[in-house]
């Protein structure tokens, strides 16, 4: 039997603030904050070492890669992301619907820090099934075929009929590059090339559209609702609409799997943000954006709490 090949996708250490870079230690006077920042780097490093040792003992071939150095991922049996949701999201942009992914939250929030006099939250890890506490058990279940990945919906994005190379696992935001500038756009929902909603003209702070996986992130904070993790629907919300008038009922809604959203951009410039701020595509006046969930899914080993 051939040895299994796993890719370890690692959150880089420079994602954590350095105490000695840019004089941080001299500007932050609370010693608890300095200790917290230093501990976060240490915990992440220890998690990487722990996971690598476990995999070594299982006689699995491992290929460690920083998420800064990602290329399209091929010829591996499993991708293990070690970091948080951001690392898993970034990895998803380089994966097709064949290779499964397991997220390890390397730096979960520690209960003893919650009531500190500063923001002591760490990594959310909503999509991460593992931590160092249960990594080996989950890995054994995968290796012994006792656990199967779930198929999580993603979002396809077309700009002027050209498909963008990135599928969104969480959400997209289309907005003016300056958050204080009004975004002008219109949109409608279509099915089989026929409109099934009126044309909605908007002046607002932009438009956010999320998958089920992203519905508990910025969408929920903006007033949306959490969707079942395996739903294939998309949820949208117009951010801070200006005088929506008769269109008020269309500022927030859901697109079915067999529907798409057609967006016309009416500002001089704009940006499509995919799964956060790192993947962006520019748009300009007259551009058309199409969004749909009819795209390859991502195979993810999900936390059991999301499937119950």
Give the integer Cα–Cα distance in Å for 148 and 102.
11
Residue pair 175/203 in contact by the 8 Å Cβ criterion = no
Q: Which residue carries 């990487």 as its tokens?
A: 48
Q: Name residues whose C-beta falls within 8 Å of residue 63's C-beta, 6 or more positions apart in sequence.
A: 5, 6, 7, 8, 76
Q: Could you report the per-residue pLDDT of 182-211, keeping only the tens digit for each?
A: 999 999 999 998 988 999 999 999 999 999
How many whole angstroms separate alpha carbon 68 and alpha carbon 10?
A: 9
Sheet containing strand 234-238, edge to edge, reads: 252-255, 234-238, 207-210, 171-175, 269-274, 279-284
pLDDT tens sequence across 217-244: 999 999 999 999 999 999 999 999 998 8
Residue 26, pLDDT > 90, answer no
pTM confidence score: 0.92
Tokens of 263: 């967006």
Please determine whether the domains at 5-148 and 156-295 fall in the same fold group of CATH: no
How many Å apart are CA 205 and CA 128, to the nearest integer? Answer: 31
Distance (Å, whole) CA 22 – CA 271: 30
5-148 has CATH 3.40.50.970 classification: no
CATH code of the domain made up of 156-295: 2.60.200.30
> Domain segments of the chain: what residues?
5-148, 156-295
């Amino acid at each position: 039997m051939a040895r299994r090949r796993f890719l370890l996708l690692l959150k880089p250490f420079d994602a954590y603030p350095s105490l000695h870079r840019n004089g941080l230690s001299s500007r932050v006077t609370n010693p608890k904050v300095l200790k917290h920042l230093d501990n976060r780097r240490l915990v992440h490093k220890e998690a990487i070492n722990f996971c690598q040792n476990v995999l070594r003992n299982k006689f699995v071939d491992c290929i460690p890669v920083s998420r800064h150095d990602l290329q399209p991922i091929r010829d591996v049996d499993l991708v293990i992301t070690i970091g948080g949701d951001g690392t898993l999201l970034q990895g998803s942009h380089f994966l097709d619907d064949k290779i499964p992914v397991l997220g390890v939250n390397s730096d979960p929030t520690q209960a003893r820090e919650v009531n500190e006099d500063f923001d002591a939250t760490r990594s959310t890890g909503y999509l991460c099934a593992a931590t160092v506490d249960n990594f080996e058990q989950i890995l054994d279940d995968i290796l012994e075929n006792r656990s199967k990945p779930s198929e999580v919906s993603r979002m396809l994005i077309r700009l002027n009929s050209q498909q963008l190379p990135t599928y969104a696992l969480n959400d997209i935001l289309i907005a003016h590059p300056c958050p204080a500038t009004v975004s002008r756009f219109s949109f409608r929902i279509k099915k089989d090339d026929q409109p099934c909603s009126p044309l909605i003209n908007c002046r607002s702070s932009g438009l956010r559209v999320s998958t089920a996986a992203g519905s508990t992130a910025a969408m929920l904070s903006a007033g949306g609702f959490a969707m079942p993790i395996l739903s294939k629907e998309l949820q949208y919300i117009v951010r801070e609409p200006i005088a929506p008038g008769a269109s008020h009922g269309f500022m927030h809604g859901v697109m079915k799997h067999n529907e798409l959203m057609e967006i016309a951009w009416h500002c001089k410039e704009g940006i499509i943000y995919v799964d956060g701020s790192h993947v962006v595509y520019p748009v300009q006046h007259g551009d058309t954006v199409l969004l749909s969930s009819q795209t390859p899914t991502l195979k993810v080993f999900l936390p059991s709490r999301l499937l119950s």
